[in-house]
Amino acid sequence: MPQMITWMMVGAGGALGSMLRHGVNRAVFEAWPSLRFPLATLIVNVLGSAAFGLFAGWLASNRLSLHPHWREFLVVGMLGGFTTFSAFAGDVVLLSRSGLTSVAVTSVFANVVLTIAAVYVGLLIGLKTA
């Protein structure tokens, strides 16, 4: 049963994070409807990454004490639903701080190059099968 509670907390947090991301997207679009730069994505990624760092710092320094279910709700669920980029950025920073700089750099290049390539390949496949 505790695992089910964790799944429910992650799901609820993910729903909230996704709604927050949608709110940022709508606000940016309504403010600048002809903007070509993906500003909403940048805002979400920067805010989500800053929040991830803040929560990680508070938890590591014991300034914030949360039940594991609430940690899952906030970090995996809400921030994950808001932006998975925050998890990627957090992984890179934690790897670097652990002295695994080459692994962190490899992660950056692998994530950026492979995800862009995956979108491109998926798009090509989708266009051919439509």
The DSSP code sequence of the chain is -HHHHHHHHHHHHHHHHHHHHHHHHHHHHHH-TT--S-HHHHHHHHHHHHHHHHHHHHHHTTS----HHHHIIIIIIIIHHH-THHHHHHHHHHHHHTT-HHHHHHHHHHHHHHHHHHHHHHHHHHHHH-
Backbone angles phi, psi at 27, to 5 degrees: -60, -45
Q: Is 21 helix (H, G, I), strand (E, B) or coil?
A: helix
Looking at residues 15-44, what average pLDDT do you find? 94
pLDDT for 129 beyond 80: no
Say how many residues make up the chain: 130
* Tokens of residue 32, six digits: 């600048």
Looking at residues 51-72, what average pLDDT do you find? 85
Residue boundaries of the structural domains of the chain: 2-98, 99-130
pLDDT for 1 beyond 90: no
Q: How far apart are CA 12 and CA 66, in angstroms?
A: 17
Using a cut of 0.85, tell me whether the model's pTM lies above it. Answer: no
Looking at residues 38-65, what average pLDDT do you find? 86
**pLDDT tens, position by position, 76-111:** 899 889 987 877 888 899 999 999 999 999 999 998
Report residue 44's pLDDT band, with 50, 70 and 90 as the boundaries: very high
